[in-house]
Structure 1
Amino acid sequence: LREIRHENLNAFIGACLYDEGILLIQEYCSRGSIKDILDNGDLKLDDMFVSSLMGDLLRGLSYLHDSSQFRFHGNLKPTNCLVDSRWVLRLSDFGLTFARSGHYVSHHAEIITTPGNMVSGKMVNNVTTTRISFANTTTTTSITRTGSGTYNSSVRSTPRAVRIVTSPYLPPEFSDIFKNTQNRSVVIDNHRKGDMYSLGVILWELLKRESLATFLGIKDEREIRAEICQKGNSFWPQTLAILNSEAQLQPVATNTGNCSAGTIIPSGVLDCLKDCLSFDPDQRPDIKSVRLRLRPLHKGMRSNIFDIMIGLMEKYANNLEILVDDRTKQLSEEKRKTGSV
């Protein structure tokens, strides 16, 4: 994690332990996340900003899938798409899936001492419990005092409760597969396909310029996921149809090269999103195919928003110089006329 470097990946600096778990230290992104940007009603995203963010997202995910040792992201969602001070999108929280599911990667110890109090829902007397929580097991050591003044010690290991998938950005099949699998090839294959579903949801939000929660009027992630799973294969086609009805579809990019993400969508983009959002993992395209199909959104654009802004400022400065020259010539002409009079 510390060695991986890419412009569209948020650099991992290190980690430290604290009382309640592990803190990850990464580069600071002052603009917040995609979720913060979408939830900010005062921030109006124009075409070039949205297209640039989408391009950054595609480049970062492409690097993870094709060039990094991780081969997938595994937890792609708007809160993990951070934006730095230069308006460059950087992916975070990658490379941690195996750490969360491994046996020996990390643990957290908690000591509970209670005389005649409630511990884990049961009334106990004079019990000191040291609980060490691993990623997928919980080891509990209990020391109790007997009537003769001696102590009995017992150690019990129990499976950790499987975390129920509630995020609406993870594909429906994640609720049922690889809950306990340690087969790396199986995990990688499923996560790569899952990344494409998550990518489709985020791209839809950027094109719609509002979060899925806002669109559905539901705040709780469990309810959003339940809504998606309940409607099944009909959910995303209906949702894309709404986006389609709000958009003016164009067969090619506009003359300026800046395709509108809210009012003008190049032909084929919605078809690409539909494939990414398929409930059948085998029907989802890979990241190379998606980048190729979404090229019309970025045609004629520079690499990032900062470069675009610099270009606009240079263009504005050039136009201003031309305007000043014109006004200077007009002033000189008026002075000449005044002198003649």
Structure 2
Amino acid sequence: MRDMRHENLNLYVGLFLDSGIFALVVEHCPRGSLADLLADSNMRLDWMFKSSLLMDLIKGMKYLHLRGLSHGRLKSTNCLVDGRFVLKITDYGLPMILQSQNIHRPEDPQELLWTAPELLRNPVRGGTFHGDVFSFSIIIQEVISRTLPYSMMDMPAHEIVERLKNPPPLCRPLVSVDEAPTECLSLMNDCWNEDPIKRPNFDEVFKQFRGINRGKRANIIDSMLRMLEQYSSNLEDLIRERTDELEVERNKTENC
């Protein structure tokens, strides 16, 4: 695991096992997880920014699958974002590590919302390639709508899991057609197909997603400048808000 090197994989530094504590030591990503970024209402994300994050995820998963390793636990909380807004996948290989240490973790229904229906019915330790593609489709929904998985269903997680296990009818997130390019929504639907065999692999996903922006390759400098402008705007708003709060407190102090 430590020998795996890719710009979209979070680096494994090692393992920590002492005093009954078992932990992974990984590279620190200062911007937290993808879930954190999406939940931050102060962070403005245009489609180019969102598509850049998704492409990072696709490239990282393509690398893992080409080396014969499925993730098995792919979700927005284990996709980290570094200081340059590059997405890095973490927790890959974790099921094998837990199995080697004979560690069993009870699954919260909320944590199963990214899991493919066939794996909910018949769990496979370490997951499958097809199952990772399904998990990716749920992350697409999160990125497009900036909402939690299936949040528009207004149902508790355990009920959603049961519906996923026992179709029909099929239970899938609802995404507005005006929130992303039609080709992206079509790819998302292909990736959460009930039949695992009919889901595209990540090599096919990469080729399809690369052509979504009308075949135009975004200039990396333009993209970075756009992200820096958005980040600067976010900081300016935050500074203005804090300045207003400070002014209010100063006036209170002077009036005492």
Q: TM-score, normalised by structure 1?
A: 0.59
Structure showing the higher helix proportion among its residues: 2
Structure 1 unaligned residues grouped into runs of 5+: 107-133, 137-161, 182-186, 248-261, 315-341
Distance (whole Å) between structure 2 residues aligned to residue 269 and residue 43 of structure 1: 22
> What is residue 97 of structure 2 aligned with on the other side?
99
> What is residue 55 of structure 1 aligned with on the other side?
55
Note the C-alpha offset of 1:71. 2.2
Note the C-alpha offset of 1:297. 3.5
Matches within 5 A, 1:82-93: 82-93=80-91
Note the C-alpha offset of 1:243. 2.1
Residue number among 72, 75, 91 corresponding to 1:74 in the alignment: 72
Q: 1:309 to 1:84 in 2, by over 3 A?
A: same
Contact 2:78 2:89 in 1 (8 A): yes
Note the C-alpha offset of 1:274. 1.0
Distance (whole Å) between structure 1 residues aligned to residue 226 and residue 142 of structure 2: 27
Note the C-alpha offset of 1:290. 1.1
Write out per-residue CA displacement over residues 162-209 of structure 1, whole angstroms, 9 at most, x where no aligned residue: 955731001111123255x7xxxxx6xx61010000001101211122
Whether 2:119 is the aligned partner of 1:174: answer yes
Query: What SS is found at the alignment partner of 2:13?
Result: strand
Whether 2:156 is the aligned partner of 1:225: answer no
Q: TM-score, normalised by structure 2?
A: 0.77
Query: What SS is found at the alignment partner of 1:15?
Result: strand
Amino-acid identity (%): 31
Q: How many residues in Structure 1 have an aligned counterpart in Structure 2?
A: 225
Aligned AA (1:284): R
Larger radius of gyration: 1
Matches within 5 A, 1:247-258: 247=178
Contact 1:276 1:285 in 2 (8 A): yes
Instruction: Kindly report the root-mean-square deviation, in angstroms, between the aligned alpha carbons of the 2 structures.
Output: 2.8
Contact 1:38 1:211 in 2 (8 A): no
Contact 2:39 2:146 in 1 (8 A): no
Structure showing the higher strand proportion among its residues: 1
Q: 1:232 to 1:291 in 2, by over 3 A?
A: farther
Note the C-alpha offset of 1:277. 0.6
Query: What SS is found at the alignment partner of 2:128?
Result: helix
Query: What SS is found at the alignment partner of 1:196?
Result: helix
Distance (whole Å) between structure 1 residues aligned to residue 207 and residue 228 of structure 2: 30
Q: 1:213 to 1:271 in 2, by over 3 A?
A: closer
